Structure 1
Amino acid sequence: MRPTPDITALRKTLASHEAPRLSVAGRRFSFGVEGLDSALGGGLPAGALHEIIGAAGADLPEGEAFTALLAARAAQGRPILWIRQDLMANEGGMPDARGLAALGLDPGAFLLVRARNGEQALRAASDGAACTALGAVLIEIWGEPRRLDLTATRRLALRAAESGVTLLMLRLAARVLPSASHSRWRVAPLLSVPLEARAPGPPAFALTLLRQRAGPSGVAGEAPGQNWNLTWQLEWDRDQQRFRTPDSRRKPRFLDGPALSRPVAALPAGRPAGAGRADRKAG
């Protein structure tokens, strides 16, 4: 029995909607570090939700830099929607185009959205994840908003799977909560190794894989007898636009010598530094 024309047209319509999903299936984006990518089966899957956690609010600069760099590798030249909760700006200021350019990223590739609270940020991320014109969605959440639960993350994961848009969620000053993310990471600042002539070294990160679906995690004691050591020290290679492991031949020589110069308060001009205190006591 042949299908009726209406059924045939319906099948063609459904197939056209499935085509973008099939083109994304199996696609991965890598860190560029062989050992790390191998532990992930070749990299992280695109069109999925990945979670990055900074345990303390002081991890904001490193967390933002790492997530933005990872989003750029996931986007592969397409626009990136960057959603920030307003509290992030209060704690660490706004992203700077010159800082992104210093990392080798194109500031024009980022579309910045400000959200008043965590609920608005999650709603904007859900809308962004449905937009197939985007390469990635980066969402920043502070703490543990009431709306951030398993249901909300499952909704985001489904949107990402349907559109093929990779979604990266950065959570600062937060605990690990149940979520539908494909992978969960902890990022922390790492002392960078200086270059020749004691020039500042590239950005460096301490990265731990806490969870990945259908794979080992880096959490000691998560299962009896398991103690996976899935922690890496990474630095960013601006020229190659990828992460790499620090070169062991470069040693932090400044630790054995004088400290690098730092800005200090200017001394009063024309008189000793303690003169002001003496004048106040005399008065």
Structure 2
Amino acid sequence: MSQKPAPFALSDLRRSLAEAALRAAPAAIGRVTFGTPALDEPLGGGLARAALHEVYAPATADLAAATGFAVGLAIRAAGQRPILWVRQDFVDAETGRLHAPGLTELGLDPARILLVRARDAEGVLRAGAEAARCSGLGAVLIEPWGEPRLLDLTASRRLSLATETSGVTTLLLRVAAAQAPSAARTRWLVRPLLSRGLEANAPGDPAFNLRLLRHRGGLSEREWCVEWNRGRQSFEERRLDAAPLSRPLVPLPADRPAALGAPDSGLRRTG
């Protein structure tokens, strides 16, 4: 049976968000660039910063790639501000917990993450809405599991209005879910690509197949192949002549369900 989050959890989150808002300057405005003209130019300079964006993993096996893409966007949106990540417990049980060394491989210091776990979709949406209103954050990632009834068009509108008011980029990461009506500014479908080989057969940069499914600015559906450059902390268009490794590779390892009782090394929990 689904249980509601304990009352103190939301109050702790509110206190943490209030402290973040006091420490931070006003939220940035404008757009979040990808760092490559191949994406930025068609999108009019990148993604709207003060907006809700959806990132879909078409299958559970694609979640690592979708997560890596969302993390890259969060890094570029946040600058030096903290990133708040709201995750439903069931995602941990099905796919494994976030792993700090994997985030480091993407160029994200785990100490910058405020990690909030919620038992159910209601808790995820409540915490996500609170976070989206906080102008002291750099980005918010909201990760429910599946197709919760509460995550409807009305709920997405609340999230959209919250981020438009605060100016904080909010990313809704969806797995095991069909596409549904939403107030999100853009919707992306992400699959992994084979990484290109480096010298001495070292692991290559994570590579993604991106399909833009929806763009409220009128851009039609289109597709890109990109890599994430950790050093530059930017996306780069995938070279067609790049020699791939023998398997998809996204450096975002996760602890398996057997480790659910262990603490998250380097990740700060709120609530």
TM-score range for the pair, normalised by the shorter chain length:
0.7 to 0.9
Are the equivalent residues in 2 in contact too, given 1:141–1:171 (CA < 8 A)? Answer: yes
Is 1:96 matched with 2:88? no
Q: Distance in 2 between matches of 1:63 and 1:214?
A: 23
Residue matched to 1:177: 180
Q: Distance in 1 between matches of 2:203 and 2:163?
A: 38
Distance 1:131-1:248 versus aligned 2 partners, 3 A rule? same
- Aligned-residue sequence identity (percent) comes to 53
SS in 1 for 2:101: helix
SS in 2 for 1:187: strand
Residue matched to 1:242: 234
Q: Distance in 1 between matches of 2:242 and 2:184?
A: 36
**Deviation sequence 1:215-239 (CA, Å, 0-9, x none):** 2231xxxxxxxxxxx1011111111
Q: Where does the alignment leave 5 or more consecutive residues of structure 1 unmatched?
A: 1-19, 219-229, 256-283
Is 1:110 matched with 2:96? no
Is 1:45 matched with 2:37? no
Are the equivalent residues in 2 in contact too, given 1:129–1:160 (CA < 8 A)? Answer: yes
Q: What is the TM-score normalised by the length of structure 1?
A: 0.75
Are the equivalent residues in 1 in contact too, given 2:194–2:246 (CA < 8 A)? Answer: no
SS in 2 for 1:190: strand
Count of aligned residue pairs for this structure pair = 223
Residue matched to 2:212: 209
SS in 1 for 2:194: coil
User: Which of 145, 148, 151 is the aligned partner of 1:148?
Assistant: 151
Q: Distance in 1 between matches of 2:203 and 2:140?
A: 30
User: Which of 68, 83, 87 is the aligned partner of 1:84?
Assistant: 87
Q: Which has the higher strand share?
A: 2
Q: What is the TM-score normalised by the length of structure 2?
A: 0.78
Query: Which amino acid in 2 is paired with 1:190?
Result: L
Are the equivalent residues in 1 in contact too, given 2:194–2:245 (CA < 8 A)? Answer: no
User: Whose relative contact order is higher, 1 or 2, with alpha carbons under 8 Å and at least 6 apart?
Assistant: 2
Are the equivalent residues in 2 in contact too, given 1:198–1:254 (CA < 8 A)? Answer: no
| Cα-Cα RMSD | 1.8
Is 1:135 matched with 2:127? no
Matches within 5 A, 1:190-205: 190-205=193-208
Displacement of 1:254? 6.0
User: Greater CA radius of gyration, 1 or 2?
Assistant: 1
Are the equivalent residues in 2 in contact too, given 1:195–1:250 (CA < 8 A)? Answer: no
Q: Where does the alignment leave 5 or more consecutive residues of structure 2 unmatched?
A: 1-25, 248-271
Distance 1:169-1:251 versus aligned 2 partners, 3 A rule? same
**Deviation sequence 1:239-276 (CA, Å, 0-9, x none):** 11101122344323769xxxxxxxxxxxxxxxxxxxxx
Q: Distance in 2 between matches of 1:207 and 1:141?
A: 21
Is 1:232 matched with 2:235? no
Q: Distance in 2 between matches of 1:254 and 1:190?
A: 10
**Deviation sequence 1:167-216 (CA, Å, 0-9, x none):** 00000011110000000000111111111232221111110000011222
Distance 1:205-1:180 versus aligned 2 partners, 3 A rule? same
